[in-house]
Every structure is written in structure tokens, then in C-alpha cells.
Amino acid sequence: MENCKFMKNMKKIRDVEVLYVAIYELLFGQELVPSGGVEGLVLERKNALKAALARLLVKRNVSCIDDLLATGNTNTGPQVRYVRVNTLKISVDKALGLLKDTIEVALDDIVPGLFAIPAHTELHAHPLVSDGSLILQGKSSCIPALALAPETDWVVLDACAAPGNKTIQLAALMNGKGLILACELNEKRIKRLQDTVKLAGASNVKVMHQDFLTLDVNKSPLSQVKAILLDPSCSGSGTVHRRLDHLLPSFASQETGGVDKPRLEKLAKFQKKALQFALSFPAVERVVYSTCSVHQQENEDVVSSVLEFAKSNGFQLGYPLPQWQQRGLPIFDGAEKLLRVEPSQDMDGFFVALFERRLGSAVKADNTKISPPMLTQQKGELGSTSKKKGNKSKKKLKRKRLGICSENIY
């Protein structure tokens, strides 16, 4: 910022941290949308900022931003990064064969088709990334879909789907079969979700621009959903290093316990409501709740708060990935079934809980047992049942909207 004389405009900006985030999005993110005063100031200096970055790369004798960051933080930077093979487009063996001659590649021992490569390997312009054969996805982010483990012929709901990496991972796990309903409310993120699905060739995904909490669970194909992946809005506290939050002035206070408690309380309230709603789908057999948070309030506490509700609907906690050593905080009986990923150099912090419905417990709204979903109905329009039944269901599902349901809203 100093190199492009940006600091002279600082008097106009009240929230310096928003400025940092806006500049990061411009230089290293997907796109900076002109939605406010700070964004406008940054976009006015777009060329100057990019020129300053280019000069800095030359000065440090590096060719990419990853190498630039490494020169300033050689002791704590990541050692590896992860890429997942999109088996909808290419086999793991073929991808490995195409990479191994030019890139050092190691197969992950937990996530199938996940490659670990040196952290500063530049892959964004690689042909296999450009055509959707390889997905740049962290190891932690791969675990929720792996824990859900849907059958190939199921109807699956990704409740808060954008940007879509977990959605297309589910599509690959299902071999491109069955039906995945990818739900996203956020107007700006729905386009990115659609682009991700298209690039991956995930033809079994139907994108829904809708609030998850307003879905009518009694209408086809929602009434046939067998598995739900719920990764709702959270604090994102497990991803602070990937997002470069440690460079912000406020990070020091957070490290010493300065947590935004009112925000956590609001998030936890929303997360509990979303999880209870997921557990209310009549045919659902498996529900995964995940966050990229390290806070107990968003993780174990949310799970604990819905246990009685889950039990009344025939659910119990499952034990995903038993080979994973890090488990939930021991605050209630059964917390060892929960899965934690502690943030480290190479992985973001994550939390995963699996709810499994006991055999024979799936019921309709009228308490009669439900039959397995008919796949011939999977491609029908949402809300294809009668108008009379739909109106009745809508009355039952009226609720106050608590917030946007989308992945990693910081």
C-alpha cells in the first residue's frame, strides 16, 4: 500500500481491516465486487496496487505470491498443499502419471484421490486445474463429504453449498449418479457455485437458489433426501492463517482470548436451528454437520444442544473416520465420536459430526414409515406435489429467517 501511495486515503476509511480484506480480494481472490466505499477506493487504485505487487515480486526475486509470502515467513509457512483428483473427469492413476514427472506428489493416506504437493508449487494455471480435472481443496475440507459417505443412488442435499468444492466431491463419491441438490441463498455466491459444478462436469447436481431453512421437506425430491451435508455460516476461526488474518491488527487480541462472544452466540443459534431442520427431513438417514471453526460454542455445544431432538427423530451419533486420531472435546458422553482437525501449518481447523438414523426410524409427517426414494422422480421439479399439500406444508414451515446460509461468511 505504501508503494502505490495508497495510505493517503486512509483518513476516509474507518475500518482498516475491511481495507486489507478488499485489497486481498483484488490481488489474490476471485473477484472484488464494488459494493461499498472501501471497495470503491480500492478499485480506484487497482492498477497502482497491481503494479506495486509486480514490483515487489521482482524486488524479492520470486514469481508468485506463495513464494513472496514464504520469503517473509519461512518458519511457519505451510510445507504442503493439497489437490483433489476429480474422478468425474480423470482417474487417480492417470492424474498421478501426468503430474509425477514435473511435480513431487504424495498420495494422502486418509482421503482417496487427494495429493499432497510442495506448498509453493504453482498450479492455478495448470491444464488439469483449468479443465476441472484437479480441484484445489484443503485436506480438512474433504473430510465432511467423506464422513457423509452417500450411496451412489441416493438423493443428497448440500444445504449451504457455495463455493461448491464439497458439492462436486459428493458428486465424485457418487460416481456421477443419484441426485445432489446444492442449495445456496447468497446472490453473489450462487454464480460461483454454478461455475464450479459446470467445470467439474457434475451432471448429477441441481443448483437451488434458495434459503435452506425455507425448503418444504414434504415435497419431492426433498422428501426423498437420504443424506444431508450441512456446513453453515461460521466464524471461520480455523482458517485464519489461510485467510492471512494473522496479519491483521486485531489478531493479537484474538490470540489472547479476545473472542467476539455476541457474534459466536448469534452464529451458534443459527447453526442449531439449521441442524435441527436438517434432522427433520422425513427420509434422511445420514446428516453431517461441519464447521471450519475451532470454537466449542459452534461445535460440541451445538451438537450437544440437539442430541435430545436427534434422539426423538431416531438419530444417534456415528463414528466417522475411526482412523482419525483427533476427536471431540470430552464435554458429554459420546463426544469421542465427533471429529476435530486442529489448525496447523498444512491444514485448516475443522469440526465434523455425523448423525445416523437407526434402521426403520424414517417416518413421514403423518408418522407412517416412508419407502425408499424412487430414482425415477429425482429429476422432477421441486414442489411437484399438489398445490393443496404444498400450501399446507408452507404453513407448517413458516419461520423467522435468522441469516444467510453460506459457507465461510467471515
- Backbone CA torsion sign across 71, 75, 76, 79: positive
160 is in an annotated binding site: yes
The answer to whether the annotation marks 408 as part of a ligand binding site is no
- Tell me: is residue 131 an annotated ligand-binding position: no
Rounded to 10 deg, the angle between the 187-200 and 165-173 helix axes is 30
Is 292 marked active-site? Answer: yes
CB-based contact 216:394 (threshold 8 Å): yes
- 3-state secondary structure (DSSP) of residue 32: coil
Q: Would the annotation count 299 as a binding residue?
A: no
According to the annotation, is 164 in a ligand binding site?
yes
Judged on CB neighbours under 10 Å (0-12, 13-18, 19+), 307 is middle
DSSP secondary structure code for residue 255 in this structure: H
Count helices and strands in the chain by DSSP H and E runs: 13, 12
8 Å CB contact between 42 and 36: no
Tell whether 161 is in a known binding site: yes
Annotated binding residue at 165?
Answer: yes
Joined together, the cell numbers standing for residue 81 give 498443499
- Among 183, 234, 292, 405, the active-site one is 292
Q: State yes or no: 314 annotated in a binding site.
A: no
Tell me how far the alpha carbon of residue 246 is from its chain's centroid.
21
Query: Does 64 count as an annotated binding residue?
Result: no
Query: Residue 228 gets which letter from DSSP?
Result: E
Is there a binding annotation on residue 184? yes
Binding residues for S-adenosyl-L-methionine: 160-166, 184, 211, 231
Binding residues: 160-166, 184, 211, 231
Catalytic residues: 292
